[in-house]
Amino acid sequence: MIEIVHPDTKKLDCISPNFIYNRIDLFSDDFILLHRVHSDPDFYIEAQLLGDHALLGAWMMDMKKEELEEISTLIFSEYPPIKYIKFYNTKLDIPTSLNNHFEVNLPKTYEELEERLTPKSKRNMARKQRLLCKELGNPSFTEYQNPDIPDELIEKYFDFKRRTHHISYYLSAKEYIKRYHVTNAYTLAYGQQTVAIVLTCEQCPIAYLENLTYNIEFAAYSPGDISYDFMLRSLVQKGISSIFLGGGNYRYKKRYDSIETTVSDGVIYRSKLIKLRYKCIDFYNRHLLWKIKSLKDCLKK
């Protein structure tokens, strides 16, 4: 049986996996805490209330379909304005909308972490670092912690992302940090040249790699891989147990004996009629809205 309980520090610390997107209480006051009665170990899960919908903090949680349905029924019963409930990267017993997710369990020392690389990988990384040193100067790896992350650093991150992935965030530096819960920013520089930036969320025992990017001018030297290695070294020194990397097919996520897991995203609707309504709205926004806007622009001409 699932029940809604009053949140306190002891209960919140029982949330597992304990990382930022399961700890909604760390960035929102509009949440509820749910508890599975008579569970061993204690099972707690948060849900963020977002007007007409809710978001479950269920990343990398093992859940049965029946349990997810029970949680949804309870939320719909207690909160009538909620029309649908979303979840992401959940390990369901009956998977839907399959995705992948990577994590790296961190050892006690960097030497142990380094042993997970093949001899060839170590040689290649060392060679590229030597080439960067020769071309630009000595390396420096600098860490900043929120609220002392310079706006200029995030602006440089935006610039790198525009040039490598054609991404524009349309956010200020502070807005980005707040929206994506960034606590730490790392810069890798050689001489006076910044070659890579790594952003992380380190509020919890399990860290999260928010994003990393690199200066495309030096892509041949794999600065993203080098900065990722430096960042992991820093986490090991801090005693962080593991880091979640999210999904995708990036090469660096497959290194250091990372664990790839099949996960599911999904939406649970209050009723079939509500589901149809939101599906229609989604179809309109995705496929028709831009055509209507284009047609209006043409008619104005």
pLDDT for residue 266? 93
The rounded distance, in Å, linking the Cα atoms of 289 and 301 is 19
- CA 4 to chain CA mean position, Å: 26
pLDDT at 276 over 90: yes
Average pLDDT, the chain: 94
Q: What is the tens place of the pLDDT at every residue in 162-203? A: 999 999 999 999 999 999 999 999 999 999 999 999 999 999
Helix, strand, or coil (residue 54): strand
Alpha helices in 26-102 (DSSP H): 65-78
- CA 215 to chain CA mean position, Å: 22
Burial 212-222 (b: 16+ CB within 10 A, else e): bbbbeebeebb
Does residue 176 share a domain with residue 118?
Answer: yes
Which of 25-29, 70-74, 184-188, 284-288 shows the lowest per-residue confidence on average (mean pLDDT)?
284-288
Q: Is residue 252 part of a domain?
A: no
pLDDT at 299 over 90: no
Angle 177-17-266 from CA coordinates, rounded to 5°: 80
Residue with tokens 């002392």: 148
**Cα–Cα distances in angstroms (integers) from residue 185 to residues 8, 73, 188, 275, in the given order:** 30, 40, 10, 40
- Residue with more model confidence, 281 or 158: 158
| 181 closest CA partner among 92, 8, 48 | 48
Q: Is residue 249 part of a domain?
A: no
Average pLDDT over residues 107-125: 96
pLDDT for residue 301? 60
Residue 59 domain boundaries: 2-99+262-300
Does residue 229 share a domain with residue 111?
Answer: yes
Q: Is residue 60 part of a domain?
A: yes
pLDDT for residue 86? 97
Structure confidence at residue 289 as a pLDDT band (50, 70, 90): confident
Does residue 216 share a domain with residue 161?
Answer: yes
Q: What is the tens place of the pLDDT at every residue in 209-258? A: 999 999 999 999 999 999 999 999 999 999 999 999 999 999 999 999 99
Q: Is residue 19 part of a domain?
A: yes
pLDDT for residue 78? 97
Q: Is residue 246 part of a domain?
A: no
Does residue 203 share a domain with residue 126?
Answer: yes
Helix, strand, or coil (residue 194): strand
The rounded distance, in Å, linking the Cα atoms of 247 and 103 is 9
**Cα–Cα distances in angstroms (integers) from residue 135 to residues 24, 81, 142, 190, 217, in the given order:** 45, 60, 20, 9, 12
pLDDT for residue 193? 97
Rounded percentage of the chain residues whose pLDDT exceeds 90: 87
Structure confidence at residue 286 as a pLDDT band (50, 70, 90): confident
Q: What is the tens place of the pLDDT at every residue in 39-59? A: 778 899 999 999 999 999 999
Q: Is residue 247 part of a domain?
A: no
The rounded distance, in Å, linking the Cα atoms of 62 and 251 is 26
Which CATH number characterizes residue 210's domain?
Answer: 3.40.630.30
Structure tokens at 273: 């009629």
Does residue 156 share a domain with residue 280?
Answer: no
The total of structural domains in the chain comes to 2
